[in-house]
Amino acid sequence: MQKEIKKGNKNIIPAKSHITLKFNIEKVRKDFPILNQMVYNKPLVYLDNGATTQKPLVVIEGINRFHSTLNSSIHRGVHFLSEQATVEYEEARETVQKFLNAEHSHEIIFTSGTTGSINGVAYSFGEKYLNEGDEIILTEMEHHANIVPWQMVCERKKAKLKVLPFDDSGTLMIEKLNQLITEKTRMIAVVYVSNSLGTVNPVQEIIKKAHERAIPVLVDGAQAVQHLPIDVQQLDCDFFAFSGHKVYGPTGIGVLYAKEKWLDELPPFQGGGDMVDVVTFAKTTYNKLPFKFEAGTTNYIGAIGLNEALLYISELGIENIAAHEKELLSYATQKIENSGGITLYGKAKHKTSILSFLINGIHQYDAGMVLDKMGIAVRTGTHCTQPVMQHYHIDGTIRASIGLYNTREDIDLLCEGIERTKQMFL
């Protein structure tokens, strides 16, 4: 069975596979000190992993070790600390390269997060390639971070946004893509995993279709990297963005992967120190990749933390994590649906880790308040995807999002919380 899990074929994993998984959940939970606490005298049930994930000890201690022994500005000094710090920073880049299976380590740009990565691409790509009347295709389930930067550049360049819709199950209507693509389409930007519906989109198919018409594709991988094995060469995406803090790393660090040819062609999105070759008041030439895109003192502490996080989850095995989360999601979906009086949003065939729902007749904010006091951390509201809420004509949902350390007990406590909420308000 282990062999089957390795292949990543999640359909053949039996329902109780969590017991036989490679990683021991009790042991794994001990790696996350924050989980072992009481809130309002109740054991913490953390189901807000879609917003941010908790950090394993290796990340916390790795950052501490770096601050305590190596802190120094990278790529600058000739001294010992600076050199060592630079080595570790560049090792982090190589870890990301391996994690995404990118061809070159200089295709990995450290940014502030997914939002920073997408804004950077939208700005630079827009400056170079967008003209009046050009079109960019997004999907209806994008996070605001993959809508607003494109809207901003479209306004500047008088270009147009076009939207690929999803159906009520939360599945992209991929068959409509062909009619949306025109000779004016310059970019397709698509979310890999929807943060409010959990849908895993067929990005590979979209990329293939786009490339047939020589259109580049940006993949928002913010909710994908922590749940699915990613291979950017196999996907053949042109750009891929993700955040450190959603993949068990620190906040303020993120990644932009881009194919070498794009990084060569695109202008830098920020100017400053380290990204330059020669600066005179007449002209500046830029540094080589990846430094051309990393202006100023980068968040090297964040990169060190991200390195630890990616090594940690690689050791657990992303396929094992995926299998564990898949089993939990199916357990949770079944249990919540059986409890009655619940409307589930996002019932796509390919889903991961996210349960978005409303308790019929109860405002999501009221439910969130009661769950909070039961020690259960969920998110309520629009989850930065207002168009998704507009699709269903609702103001928001309750979102429980599963991480690698969640257990069936967490789901059971969530369901108890839902029942308690019903008793209070209905």
Partner 1 sequence: MTDTNKSLKEVQDEIIEEFRMYDDWMDRYNYLIELSKDLPLIDEKFKNNEYLINGCQSKVWLNAGFDESKGVIRLSADSDAIITKGIIALLIRVLSNRKPEEIMNADLYFIDEIGLRQNLSPTRSNGLLAMLKQIKLYALAYHSKMTKS
d(C-alpha 396, C-alpha 384), whole Å: 10
| One residue of 152, 363, 394, 408 binding partner 1 per CB under 8 A | 363
Q: Which residue(s) pair with 400 in the sheet?
A: 355
The pattern of x and - marking residues 36 through 75 that bind partner 1 according to CB under 8 A reads ----x-----------------------------------
Q: Quick one: 306 exposed, middle or buried, by C-beta within 10 A (0-12, 13-18, 19+)?
A: buried
CB 122, CB 150: distance < 8 Å: yes
d(C-alpha 118, C-alpha 243), whole Å: 11
d(C-alpha 225, C-alpha 257), whole Å: 12
The pattern of x and - marking residues 23 through 42 that bind partner 1 according to CB under 8 A reads -----------------x--
Does the footprint of partner 1 cover residue 281 (CB under 8 A)?
A: no
| One residue of 373, 377, 408, 416 binding partner 1 per CB under 8 A | 373
Question: Residue 40 Cβ, how far from partner 1 at the closest point, in Å?
Answer: 6
CA dist list (Å): 238 to 92, 110, 246, 307: 21, 16, 22, 23
Q: Which residue(s) pair with 242 in the sheet?
A: 255
| One residue of 137, 396, 403, 422 binding partner 1 per CB under 8 A | 396
| One residue of 70, 200, 370, 418 binding partner 1 per CB under 8 A | 370
Stretch that binds partner 1, among 99-107, 142-150, 274-282, 379-387 (CB under 8 A): 379-387
Q: Quick one: 232 exposed, middle or buried, by C-beta within 10 A (0-12, 13-18, 19+)?
A: buried
Does the footprint of partner 1 cover residue 145 (CB under 8 A)?
A: no
Q: Determine phi and psi for 327, rounding to 5 degrees.
A: -65, -45
Does the footprint of partner 1 cover residue 346 (CB under 8 A)?
A: no
Question: Residue 148 Cβ, how far from partner 1 at the closest point, in Å?
Answer: 16
Which of 403, 109, 386 is closest to 242 using CA atoms?
Answer: 109
Question: Residue 215 Cβ, how far from partner 1 at the closest point, in Å?
Answer: 35
| One residue of 382, 401, 406, 407 binding partner 1 per CB under 8 A | 382
Stretch that binds partner 1, among 53-61, 179-187, 256-264, 368-376 (CB under 8 A): 368-376
Which of 159, 104, 106, 167 is closest to 137 using CA atoms?
Answer: 159
For the question of residue 384 being annotated catalytic, the response is: yes
Does the footprint of partner 1 cover residue 380 (CB under 8 A)?
A: yes
Stretch that binds partner 1, among 62-70, 265-273, 303-311, 366-374 (CB under 8 A): 366-374
Token duo for residue 52: 């941010």
Q: Determine phi and psi for 269, rounding to 5 degrees.
A: -95, -10
Catalytic sites, residue numbers = 384
Interface contacts to partner 1, rule CB under 8 A: 40, 362-366, 368-370, 373, 380-382, 395-396, 420, 424-425
